[in-house]
A = this chain, B = another copy of it.
């Protein structure tokens, strides 16, 4: 296989995949490099259920021999799977050594979003708008399901932010932890991870913007006041109020950080 494909020369990056579905339905794209074949082989084992979290993969040398490819190709495939948070590799010997199916989607999502936000494939405005919608949802879900452990996590973050003289970085990280704790209480892992990843991808821009605010302490105090209001609404099981406060909170914070949504070219 791998016969020559059509000479798709103008492969502009901004593909929108707008279709014209009545066309001859040309071959979409069937290129397959060796490491892609290895990835597909592993992915098939996963989607078919033959491999689940915790299972070991064959060693790199063994996998290379079985798939009739070089070890370098296997390694490239494993690095891809690793970057997706699907496998982890441990050196050494014994049962803890080798490559295993893992479940670490958060880090992968965060890096993914951070890179694409940096590349302006996703604008900061989009990320914030999406974050608002996600957190509205997770807040609504959390308000109905929240239990003591989750409340304790939120209170811990609030306590950090209540500490006088806390550094901006610490405040910001506790801020993130507070929102993530709410998302976690929604008991929806995907929603929670997405929330954390989006917030993580914005960490650096938010900190940079925060440093340019005239009166950071006043802003921190205002944000913290809003946090306590959200917390109270959650404790009161007042879903609608909590949701509205969450959206208002994010919007007001964004508005207070004008540098955040400026185009990056202007910030020298």
Contacts and interface: CB of A to CB of B under 8 A. Distances in A.
Interface residues of A, number: 83
A126 interface: yes
A200 B54 CA distance: 25
A233 interface: no
A120 to B, nearest CB: 7
Given A116-B86, A119-B52, A121-B53, A15 B264 contact: no
Given A14-B107, A204-B47, A190 B102 contact: no
A227 interface: no
Interface stretch (A60-68, A128-136, A218-226): A128-136
A32 interface: no
Interface in A167-226: 170, 173-174, 177, 180-181, 184, 188-191, 193-194, 200, 203-204
A162 B106 CA distance: 40
B129 A188 contact: yes
A121 B107 contact: no
27 contacts: A9-B96, A13-B53, A13-B200, A14-B103, A17-B153, A18-B153, A21-B156, A21-B174, A21-B177, A35-B79, A47-B115, A47-B118, A72-B75, A76-B76, A76-B79, A77-B79, A84-B112, A84-B115, A103-B119, A105-B116, A105-B122, A122-B189, A122-B193, A126-B189, A126-B191, A133-B133, A194-B194
